[in-house]
Chain A
Amino acid sequence: MGAFLAEIPGSAKGVLTRRSPSARIACGAGVFVACLASPATTLAGSAFLLCTTAVWASLCGLPLRIAVRVLGLLAAVLLPLILLALLPVGDGWNLAEALRVSWALVARGLASTLVAVATVAALAPWELHEGLEALPLPRVVVAVLSQVVRQADTLARETASMTTAIRLRGGAGGFRAAVVVARALPEVWLPRVGDRAERTARAMEMRDFDGGSLQRTATWSSGDAGLAAATMAWTALGLVLRFWSA
């Protein structure tokens, strides 16, 4: 799992990777918003979501292998929620309404997550930082965001190696290893995350990582600007659909 997350950044090599990192991040965020804003309960809304996700994922060049794996993980997370939503509660309950609600949940969840994963996949780890630097965001936000990403990445790798270590030492594989890891989590892993966060915070302080502003170079090519315009138009379409269906 950890190893899988760590292999996402930079795995996509689609046409979008020719645009500057900051344009990729800004437009990825725009498309993500379009997914959240669009209605999922109408036919047009569902078509919009499907289309948005498919187009963005192929522009990014998200490898099928990763898309499938992400969908599988999401299904595992979303399925219990849907079953919960379908439980009959109270007098006003009807199946059609319950289905509508769970479909909206699933469709938006799937679409926005795939869009986010595709965007991250289209950015090499250093491009993510470069791109954030070039966007007109407060320096602290950039520093914190890029450290969240970097530390999450480090942790993902660490978790993978801890899992291996526990397997090797316990001699247990598969499910049993998973149970052992899950039980060790609060005692071993969380304090470790806390310690690491504290030590990294110290290093950030020492290296003046979040202070002042660096010189920025946000020069977008016409291709970048075109992509941004298209994304804005697309997000607007999502919003129109939302209000039209309301």
Chain B
Amino acid sequence: MEAALEFRGLVVRYGDGVPVLDRLDLRIDPGERVALLGLNGSGKTTLLMAAVGLVACDGIVRVLGETLSDRTVGAIRRRTGMLFNVPEDQILLPRVVDDVAFGPTRRGVSTARARSDALATLASLGIDEAVAAGSVHALSHGQKQRVALAGALVTRPDLLLLDEPSAGLDPPGRTALARLLAGIDVTLLVATHDTEFARRTCSRFILLEGGRVAWDGADLAGITSRWDAGGPG
């Protein structure tokens, strides 16, 4: 079976520094739901960005059956939804509904259809029509997080890369998001510090440490017990 996401010998370094990711190997099959854990600065965000060619890297990256290259990167990004670490950064249009509708419009969906898709996705994330018609500046942090998520979900991507999706959400919001993610057919890679959220949304848990995968398994306790024992960090 073709992997949904695969890294082989991935090396990423910023400037001349030591590599943040150092000959990392990882394979994720279609439909898998994977949580990416690790201490601050362990390279979780960097790994998500490497998957869609947003950081320069060495090694092989294969996404949705294609090897990442200048030629394939556009098609790969169109099939991938991404939630960035800081939601403000990815909200590019001043009105909420326009921003969420932007993705479908770029993919050739009619304006009216894109708008109704956007409103439906926003509603599923608890953003009502009045808020959707307003300015993005009027949103709270958690609402911005929801809007950015809606922008990633609305195009029904095959691969979803989420950088700390539960950060800033209230407890009911986290539960709702976990349910929503459980209900869609997608390959999921979630970088998170929220072990409770990881347990609810994922069935495979990966620990990044020293630029490599230090733990990979179906049992989250394998990672948390390591932390409790006072491992590195």
Contacts and interface: CB of A to CB of B under 8 A. Distances in A.
Contact of B54 (A6, A205, A214): A205
Given A125-B94, A128-B94, A203 B78 contact: no
Contact of A126 (B54, B90, B98): B98
A205 B111 CA distance: 22
A125 B95 contact: yes
Given A154-B88, A196-B89, A208 B77 contact: yes
Contacts of B137: 6, 125, 153-154, 157
Given A147-B92, A208-B77, A208-B78, A126 B135 contact: yes
B93 A203 contact: no
Interface residues of A, number: 26
A199 B89 contact: yes
Contact of A129 (B88, B93, B106): B93
A209 interface: yes
A27 to B, nearest CB: 21
A150 B90 CA distance: 12
A183 interface: no
Given A153-B137, A202-B49, A214-B106, A207 B90 contact: yes
A215 B108 CA distance: 9
Interface of A: 6, 125-126, 128-129, 146-147, 150, 153-154, 157, 196, 199-200, 202-209, 211-212, 214-215
25 contacts: A6-B137, A125-B94, A125-B135, A126-B95, A129-B94, A129-B98, A150-B92, A150-B93, A150-B94, A154-B88, A199-B84, A199-B89, A200-B89, A200-B90, A200-B92, A202-B54, A203-B89, A203-B92, A206-B77, A207-B106, A207-B151, A208-B77, A212-B106, A214-B106, A215-B111
Interface of B: 49, 52, 54, 74, 77-78, 82, 84, 86, 88-90, 92-95, 98, 102-103, 105-106, 111, 135, 137, 151
